[in-house]
């Protein structure tokens, strides 16, 4: 059975319509941050097992960016939020 993602704009769609774009829990350092802070932001990544927040794009649909809470072990999708709404809610 195919995995499904519920796009807030297009409804329930197969995951093949989406492309993962990366970790949504990272916070960009200030422009004046140290080189070490920028190095960590750009190159150092955790590979957690369990629930994570990820940026995805609905490339075969509305083309919107979404923030998906997904379990990296079971691949179960727990929530889907529009990327712009997520940014407003989290002050980004």
Q: Which is nearest to 22 in space by CA: 52, 65, 56, 64?
A: 56
Quick one: average pLDDT of 8-34?
A: 95
What is the tally of structural domains in the chain?
1
pLDDT at 1 over 50: no
pLDDT computed for residue 63 by the predictor: 97
pLDDT computed for residue 82 by the predictor: 97
CA angle 50, 43, 84 (to 5 degrees): 65
* Domain of residue 42, residue span: 4-27+35-89
φ, ψ of residue 64 to 5 degrees: the values are -75, 155
Which domain CATH number covers 11? 3.30.2270.10
pLDDT computed for residue 73 by the predictor: 94
pLDDT in tens, 26-83: 999 999 999 999 999 999 988 899 999 999 999 999 999 999 999 999 999 999 999 9
């Amino acid at each position: 059975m195919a995995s499904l993602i519920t796009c807030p704009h297009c409804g329930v769609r197969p995951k093949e319509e989406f492309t993962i774009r990366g970790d949504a829990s990272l916070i960009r350092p200030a422009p004046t941050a140290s080189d070490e802070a920028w190095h960590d932001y750009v190159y150092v990544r955790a590979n957690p097992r369990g629930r994570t927040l990820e940026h995805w794009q609905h490339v075969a649909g509305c083309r919107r960016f979404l923030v998906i809470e997904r379990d990296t072990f079971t691949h179960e999708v727990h929530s889907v939020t529009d990327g712009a709404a997520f940014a407003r809610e989290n002050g980004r």
